[in-house]
Structure 1
Amino acid sequence: MQLLKHMSISAVLLGGFAIIGSGLVAWIHQQTAPTIEANEQAALLSNLHSLIPPGTHDNDITEDTIQVRDETLLGTPEPVTVYRARQDGEPVTAILNVIAPDGYSGRINLLVAIRYDGELAGVRVIKHSETPGLGDAIDAERSDWIHSFAGKSLDNPEPDGWRVKKDGGEFDQFTGATVTPRAVVKAVRNALKYYAEHREQLFRPTDNTGDESA
């Protein structure tokens, strides 16, 4: 009987700790969620402005967006956000938030900025899980590698050049890490292909509630 009593008390205590712990986690999440969201939005805006400086457009690119889908070229079956820059109502640049699905440690989220004429304004990595010291050289803060895409286009370089040098292409790989840059190069070229096929659709005026499908 004494043993059963102790077991019952232990069970009650454990249950109480679980309830308190769950409540504490929920409370912390509720308190920190707005700050986390604000930080993520600030980081996104910083990346967007690094690709399209505010002086090159006069619209709010965080509001002028469209959702598109193309699992093959955009790297995910989920809707992809496209941010659209305009000047005096005319299209300037589209920034596609695409996925490189085949990174060494999983998905790599990219912002691919493409000028209206099809030339790359630049590329930024906004989220990844690549190996520190190797694959994380795709970060703009860690190396200049990601800046090598600026000025490129679907035909510059030629199709065979859209590979890392190890595969006979024009893009550098990292020492000890070829999979990561290979995945990014492929994703950027796929984004350019998608843009070339859907440019007019991407800049079509919308009420931001539609989900355009490729």
Structure 2
Amino acid sequence: MASQEINIPKLGIFLGALAAIAAGLLSFVSTSTAGAIKLNLQAKTNAALEQVLPAFDNVPGDDALEIASAEGWPVNFYIARKGGEIVGYAGEVITPEGFNGNVTVMAGLNLDGSVRTVIVTANTETPGLGTAITDRKVQKTIADIIKGGAEAIGLAPNTYLNWYAGKTAGAARWPIVKEGESINGKTGATITSRAVGGAVYAIGKTAVDNIAQLSKGAE
């Protein structure tokens, strides 16, 4: 039985075509995935902005600017407008000081740079300890469960995050307070407490130091 001859040139063309098709498919999938990831991130950011800002009718994500904090962290500021007038700002920063790595914090700010509302938008802190500082969750009692009814509307409470409301960043970071009725720190989660506090301070201090620039909006 005669052996079949392999046509090297044709085989090369065939393999080249397969490689080109595979590369094209990978590029398409990569582009599609990148687009989907970008849209998901934008949706997450928009949802967070609605939680920390007063009512607005613009698109803060399209009215944004980046300013470096004294720590060298990029702070992304979003401008909220209503009827064309600026009604507030939001700042978001990633701090590397978390117990398990990066913690992303967003703070809504009043026109004078004072803190309005704080949320943590991303973290990998220890469940039950660090997450007590970072997470906003509606706490339900047995009576609430039995009673049932509609879910609570609005921002869920967090004693530690609420501590920053109304405060203006000064020359130094705020102290971590673990005792008393008004606290921003938790025993067993000191590193997370400091990370969040440092991030809020970085946002607030950068805003106060650059309030004139923020008041002009993105240009």
- The answer to whether the 8 Å contact 1:81/1:97 transfers is yes
Q: Deviations over 1:110-165 (max 9, x none)?
A: 1111110333221111122212222122122486245414632127xx98992222
Q: Deviations over 1:142-192 (max 9, x none)?
A: 86245414632127xx98992222499x53423421110121112212322
| Amino acid in the other structure paired with 1:201 | Q
Pick one of 107, 110, 126 that aligns with 1:112: 107
- The answer to whether the 8 Å contact 1:120/1:149 transfers is no
Q: Deviations over 1:54-94 (max 9, x none)?
A: xx22322111111212342xx52xx4321001233332211
Query: Aligned pair count?
Result: 179
Bigger radius of gyration: 2
Which of the two has greater helix per residue?
A: 1
Match of 1:67 in 2: 66
**Measured at CA, do residues 167 and 195 of structure 1 come closer, stay the same or move farther in structure 2, by a change above 3 Å?**
farther
The worse-fitting range, judged by mean Cα deviation, of 24-33 and 178-187 is: 24-33
Q: Does 1:32 align with 2:46?
A: no
Match of 1:121 in 2: 116
Q: Alignment RMSD, CA only? A: 3.3
The 2-side partners of 1:182 and 1:190 are apart by 12
TM-score w.r.t. length of structure 2: 0.67
**Measured at CA, do residues 94 and 132 of structure 1 come closer, stay the same or move farther in structure 2, by a change above 3 Å?**
same
> What is the DSSP-based 3-state SS (H/G/I as helix, E as strand, rest coil) of the residue aligned with 2:166?
coil
Q: Does 1:153 align with 2:154?
A: no
Pick one of 93, 99, 103 that aligns with 2:94: 99
Match of 1:45 in 2: 46
Structure 1: state its 5+ residue gaps: 1-18, 208-214
TM-score w.r.t. length of structure 1: 0.68
| Amino acid in the other structure paired with 2:209 | E
